[in-house]
Structure 1
Amino acid sequence: MLRIKNVESGYGRLKVLKKVTMHIRAGEIVTIIGANGAGKTSLLKTVSGLIPARSGEILFDMKEIGKLPPEKIVFLGCSLVPEGRQLFAPMTVKENILLGAYPQYRKKRGDQVREDLERIYGLFPRLRERERQLAGTLSGGEQQMLAIARSLMARPKLIMMDEPSMGLAPLVIKDIFSIVTRLRAEGSTVLLVEQNAKAALGIADRGYVLETGRIIMQGTAEDLLSNREVQRAYLGRDLDAEGTM
């Protein structure tokens, strides 16, 4: 579904991504883990068109999207749930959700929008309860659910999530990751950027480790969870030290 080959991008003179190559198959959850500043958010912004790729290829459903503007990429079926949620705080929950349906409105699919809204409320019952509430008054977990709901209204084939667990309590994080696995069960493909490496690898099929703008490791989620270097750097474990205790 998504193929990235030798992609480089950055901000001004600063090169952030350096020859990044990776792929995602339809129906997978793929996670990207790495430290702060590794380039994870920049990678998602490059795929979604918010940062233009300087070189390399980005193929989505066999179409080159590396030079397309963000709105065209969304129309093709690739949506981003941004870091920090970026909701419209003075607008209601329902208004924020419907903003995500812009591609469907452009295609004059009002009936689909109503169906999709009911599906969203089925996924997120709390959003139905709070549909008239201002988005800025929601809890952190509810805001994250709203950000995911808004992206789903575009009917994406691929949904990219940037740090969905950031700032949330452990029980809320569990709910968010349960939603991600449910999306896969319903046919969605997910690219997940997460600092909570253990939680992300716990639900993912495969993963990539990004370090200073380069992919330094890849493998199945199980392989990465058991890898000593990943455990030391991202899971807070040092097996050699544990072995001497």
Structure 2
Amino acid sequence: MLKIRNLEAGYGKLRVLKRISLHVNPGEIVTLIGANGAGKTTLLYTITGLVRATAGDIILQGREITRERPEKIVAMGCSLVPEGRQVFVTMTVRENLVLGAYVQHKKGNREFMAQLEEVYELFPVLRERRDQLAGTLSGGEQQMLAMGRALMAQPALIMLDEPSTGLAPLIVKNIFAIITKLRAAGNTVLLIEQNAKAALKIADRGYVLETGKIILEGPAEALLANRDVQRAYLGRDLARP
């Protein structure tokens, strides 16, 4: 689904990503964990074309997207749920979702209402709140709206940037349950998450990013059991009894 080879990117003279290579297979949840400033969000922005790669290749479903425009990348099947939700607060829930289908509408796709119904089935609260302004929703409801809006573009790959940020534990549990439902429905997910334990519990595979470099990769279960990962990201000091 997604293949990244020797990717480099940054801001001006600041090099953030340093020869990143990773892949995401169809139907997988792959998580990328790392500390603040490791380059996780920059990686997602580079995949979506919001940050320009200075070297390397990004291949989506066999097609080169490294230097494509963001709107073209969305049309090619890649949607991003940004950190902090970033919903349009003065628009209704339904209007936010309709806006997410812009690319499909532009391509003449007549399945808009069916896709909207699928989103409502996945997030029943959005149906209940469809005429409510997005800015009046709770944090968890806004996160569901951001995810639903991304799904309206009918992406082959959906990328989520820190979906648990600022949410209560019960809401986080619900959000992660929905992410597993996305996989069960045939979606492919690239998940960026600081809650490493929760992310690795639902992921198939994972990568650990540190100062712009991939330092570990493997099956999620293996990373959960890794002593260095436990010490650095799961809050466990295994040197103590």
Q: TM-score range by the shorter chain?
A: over 0.9
Question: What secondary structure is seen at the aligned counterpart in 2 of 1:202?
Answer: helix
Distance 2:73 2:181 in 1: 24
**TM-score scaled by length of structure 2:** 0.99
1:238 counterpart residue number = 237
User: How much does 1:238 deviate?
Assistant: 1.2
SS in 2 for 1:239: coil
User: What does residue 157 of structure 1 align with?
Assistant: 156
Deviation at 1:107, TM superposition (A): 1.7
1:7 partner amino acid: L
Per the alignment, residue 209 of structure 2 pairs with 210
Alignment-mate amino acid for residue 99 of structure 1? L
- Name the aligned partner's letter for residue 22 of structure 2: M
Per the alignment, residue 14 of structure 2 pairs with 14
CA distance in 2, matches of 1:211, 1:113: 41
Q: 2:221 and 2:229 mapped to 1: Cα distance?
A: 11
Q: Does 1:55 align with 2:55?
A: yes
**Shift, 1:62, TM fit:** 1.0
Distance 2:5 2:107 in 1: 32
Q: 2:228 corresponds to which residue?
A: 229
CA distance in 1 between counterparts of 2:124 and 2:63 reads 36
Q: Which amino acid aligns with 1:21?
A: S
Q: Write out the 4+ residue segments of structure 1 that deviate beyond 2 Å after TM superposition.
A: none
**Matches of 2:103 and 2:177 in 1, distance apart?**
27
Instruction: Give the C-alpha shift of residue 104 in structure 1.
Output: 1.4
The alignment partner of 1:210 has SS state of strand
2:62 and 2:119 map into 1 onto residues whose CA distance is: 29
Structure 2 residue identity aligned to 1:116: Q
Alignment of 1:168 with 2:159, yes or no, is no
Residue 181 of structure 2 corresponds to 182
Q: CA deviation at 1:164?
A: 0.3
Equivalents in 2 of 1:156, 1:117: separation in Å? Answer: 14
| Distance in 2 of aligned mates of 1:126 and 1:28 | 26
Q: Distance in 2 between matches of 1:125 and 1:59?
A: 34
Q: Which stretches in structure 2 are left out of the alignment for 5+ residues?
A: none
Q: Residue 39 in 1 paired to residue 47 in 2?
A: no
1:114 maps onto 2:140 in alignment: no
Q: Aligned partners of 1:160 and 1:211: how far apart in 2?
A: 19
Q: What's 1:75 paired with?
A: 75
Task: State the superposition RMSD in angstroms.
Answer: 0.6
| Cα distance in structure 2, aligned partners of 1:60 and 1:130 | 34
Mapped to 2, the partners of 1:190 and 1:174 lie a distance apart of 17
Aligned residues, how many?
241
